Amino acid sequence: MHDLGAIFDRDGLLARKIPGFNYRPQQQAMACSVAEAIENRGSLICEAGTGTGKTFAYLVPALISGRKVIISTGTRNLQDQLYHRDLPRVRQVLRSPVKTALLKGRGNYLCRFRLDQAVAEGRRLPPSLQAELETIRRWSVETRRGDVAEVDVAEDSPLWPRVTSTTDNCLGQDCPDWDGCFLVEARRRAQEADLVVINHHLLCADLALKEEGFGEVLPGADCFVVDEAHQLPEVASSFFGESVGSRQLFDLVRDTETEYHREAGDLPEVPESARALRKAVQDLRLCFGEEGRRGPWRELKGSPSLMRAIGGLRSALGDLGLGLEALAGRGRGLAGCRERCVLALERLAMLCEGGDDNAIRWYETQPQGFRLHSTPLEIAGIFSAHMKRHPAAWIFTSATLAVGEHFEHFARQIGVEEAETRCWDSPFDYRHQALCLLPEGLPDPSDPTYNRAVSELAVKLVGYSRGRAFLLYTSHRALQEAAGTLRQRIPYPLLVQGDAPRGELVERFRRLGNAVLLGTSSFWEGVDVVGEALSCVVIDRLPFASPGDPVLQARIDALRQRGGNPFRDLQLPQAVIALKQGAGRLIRDIGDRGVLVVCDPRLLGRSYAAAFLESLPPMPRTRELEAVRRFFAEDGEGVGDSEAEGSVGSDGGDFRSESQEARKR
C-alpha cells in the first residue's frame, strides 16, 4: 500500500504542490480507509463532514491503486466539477499516467441526425427557439465531444429533446451518422479508460445492463466510488421502476409524424392515429384538474372519469400500434416508433392491472403534464443483487449518511448491512465560525399563523445579516407566502425559486452579494456559496416528508405490517439527513462565518429532538434574537466566547447534545 502520509501530511505532496491546501487529519484518515477498501475489495460506508475534502480523499487512492475505478456522482454539475477541476489537479500533483474519461447519459450528447431533422423543420418553431437552434447548429460544427453543457442554451430548453436521442428513438447502427456519433465515441473512451466518472442514474442503468449506458465496461471495474451516496436510494427507486408520461407520449406522436412523412406518406390512418393519441394525452391531463398533485393509484380507480380517460389512452396507443405495424419494413424510424408504442402500451397495461406486490403504483401531475409510475417498495434486494454480480470494492460516501453516528438507515436501504462504516467530523471551527438560533415564541407548525410568524422573524433576521441569506422551506406554499411578505418588507434583492433556473438564481445570489434567496428541496443540497454572500441560513420547519406522498405512505404501511416502527425506521432518519443537508449550506470554507436558524419549536419540545440536534454541526446555540444581532454587528466580530456561552447557558446543557460535548472534549 502506498504511503498516503507522504501525500496528505502537513508537508506532504498536496501541501507542497497546491496553493492554499490545508492539512486535515480527517481527510488523511478517510484516504487510508478508502485505500484499504480498494486493496481488500471491501465495502465501506463513510460520512465526511463539510470541509473534509472527501473528493481528494478518494481520488488519490483511486489514482494510485492501479485498478479500474468507476466514480459515480449525484448530478451532472458535480460530474463536470469532479472531472474538469478536481481530477486534473490531483493527477498533475501525482504525475499520474492514469487514463480518465467522463461519461454521461445519452440525453447529454448532441445527436447529429436529430439535429438535421430539427433544422429541416426549423421554420415551424417560434423565433426565440429558431435563434437557439442556430446557436446549437453553429456549435455542432465546432464541438469535439458533443456535450450539451458546452453550449450556452438553457438546460431546460424545449429544443434539447429534439436534438438529442433517447433509447426509444435512437436508430443505432442504422443511423446515417453512426460513425460520427458523440455518444458512441464517449462510450469508447470510457471502455478504454482506467478511471471513469459517471452519475447515479447511469450507474443504476448499467448495473441493470440496460442500454442507457455502457454495461460492457462495468464487469471489468475493480472499484466503485459512489459520492453523494445519500441520493442513491431515491435515484435507484426511480430507475428500477417503470413509468409512462405525457412528455414521452408527445415525443412519440411528434416522431411518428416526422418519420411517417420521411419514410411512408401513403397510409393516412397513421397520422390520424397519432393525432388521436395526442388528444387522448391532453384529455387525460385535463381530467386530473389544474393543480399539480401526487397520489396513489387507488385514487384513479375511484374516479370513473379518470379511468375512462386512461382507457381512451390505451385505445389510442393500440390503434397507433396497429397502424405502425402495417408500415413494417418501411424504415428504421417507423420501426422504432412502433417499438416505443408497444412498450408504452405494455407499461400502461401493467400499471392498470397491477400484480407486483413489491411495487407502488402512483401518479403525479405538473402544470402541463402527468406521469404514471410503478416504483419498487424496496430496492435493497435489487441493488445488492446487482452489486454481487459486479464483485469489486464498493465505497459509499457523503457529508450526510449517518443519523447521529449510525448508518443503519442507509445500509438497510441499499442492502449493504455488512459494510464497514466510518464517520469523520468537519474540520471547520463551528464554535467560533457559527451560531445556531432556536427562536423562542413561535407557534406550533400546525398553527395557521405559523408561516406568518416565520416570515416576520425572517424580516428581522435578514435585516441583521444585511441580506446574504438562504431561506429554505419544506413546501412551495410556505415559500410563496414568505415571498409575498418579504417583497414588501426588505430592501435587499429577493430571488425566488421558480423565477429563473436554479443555476441562474445561485449565480445571481453570488454576484449580488447581499441577496435573499428563497428555495425548497432542490436548494437544500448541492448549492455551494463560499464567502460573505451567504451568511445566514433559515430553515422554516423540520423537513419531514409529506405523509400524503404515495410512495412514502406505501412504505410506511409495509413497515407497519412487518411490525416495524415507520417513524423511527423511515420518517425520522430521512428528516435528519435532510436537515443536515440544509444546515450544510452555511459554512463552506475555513473563513466562512454565519448563523443557522431552525424555526421549528419541535426541535426542543419533542422526544425525537435529540436525533436532530446530535446531527447538527457542534456550534453554539441560543434562543435569543439579540445574539444574532450581535453576531452580525457592523464591526464584523462574532458574539465572542463569553457572549455565546451566556446565550447558550453556562454548561450548554440546555441546547447542546451530549455527543457534541464529547467531540469537543
What's the mean pLDDT when you consider all of the chain?
Answer: 89
Q: Is 288 helix (H, G, I), strand (E, B) or coil?
A: coil
* 513-566 pLDDT per residue, tens: 999 999 998 899 988 899 999 999 999 999 999 878 999 999 999 999 989 999
pLDDT tops 50 at residue 653: no
For residue 187, being part of any structural domain is answered with no
pLDDT digits (tens, 9 = 90+) for 443-495: 999 999 999 999 999 999 999 999 999 999 999 999 999 999 999 999 999 99
DSSP summary character for residue 367? T
- The verdict on 49 and 80 lying in the same domain is yes
DSSP assignments along 334-363, one per residue: HHHHHHHHHHHHHHHHHHHH---TTEEEEE
**Where would I find the beta strands (DSSP E) of 214-289?**
223-226, 242-245
Mean pLDDT computed over 399-416: 93
Q: Cell for 141?
A: 460544427
Of the candidate ranges 30-44, 322-336, 437-451, the one whose mean pLDDT is the lowest: 322-336
Q: Are residues 218 and 283 in the same domain?
A: no
Q: Decide which of 424, 452, 482 is a domain's last residue.
A: 424
User: pLDDT band for position 233 (50/70/90)?
Assistant: very high
CATH number of 637's domain: 3.40.50.300
Interatomic CA distance for residues 434 and 431, integer angstroms:
6
355 pLDDT band, cuts 50/70/90, is confident
Q: Which residue has the cell 466510488?
A: 225
Last-in-domain residue among 161, 182, 203: 182
Count of other CB atoms within 10 angstroms of residue 245: 18
- Kindly state whether residue 587 falls inside one of the protein's structural domains: yes
Q: Tell me the chain's radius of gyration from C-alpha atoms.
A: 27
Helix (H, G, I), strand (E, B) or coil at 221: coil
Cβ neighbour number for residue 460 with a 10 Å cutoff: 14
CA-to-CA dists, residue 266 to 34, 323, 329, 468, 513, angstroms:
63, 12, 14, 63, 62
Q: Is 454 within a domain?
A: yes
Name the residue range of residue 453's domain: 430-664
CA distance 25 to 9: 8
Question: What are the pLDDT digits (tens) for 116-160?
Answer: 989 988 888 888 899 999 999 999 999 999 999 899 888 878 899
Q: Is residue 188 part of a domain?
A: no
Report the alpha-carbon distance of residue 63 to residue 65 in Å, rounded.
Answer: 6
Residue of 178, 182, 189 whose CA lies nearest to 164:
182
Residue 661's pLDDT is: 34
306 and 371 in a single domain? The answer is: yes
Nearest to 245 by CA among 368, 159, 378: 368
Count of domains observed in the chain? 4
546 and 522 in one domain? yes
What pLDDT is recorded for position 546?
87
Q: Tell me: do 360 and 413 sit in the same domain.
A: no
Q: Are residues 385 and 251 in the same domain?
A: no
End-to-end CA distance of the chain: give it in Å, rounded.
33
pLDDT at position 211 over 90: no
Does residue 79 form part of some domain? yes
Indicate whether 486 and 619 sit together in one domain. Answer: yes
Give the domain CATH number at 251: 1.20.1440.60
Among 313, 343, 376, give the residue marking a domain's end.
Answer: 376
Same domain, 481 and 618: yes
pTM: 0.89
**pLDDT exceeds cutoff 60 at 27:** yes
Mark whether 482 and 569 lie in a shared domain. yes
247, 265, 280, 259: which is closest to 366 by C-alpha? Answer: 247
Q: Residue 631 falls within a domain, yes or no?
A: yes
Q: Specify the pLDDT at position 660.
A: 37
Examine the domain organization and report whether 297 and 388 are in the same domain. Answer: no
470 and 608 assigned to the same domain = yes
What backbone phi and psi angles, to 5 degrees, belong to 421? -130, 145
Amino acid in position 550? P
Same domain, 52 and 131: no
Question: Is 464 within 8 Å of 632 (Cβ atoms)?
Answer: yes
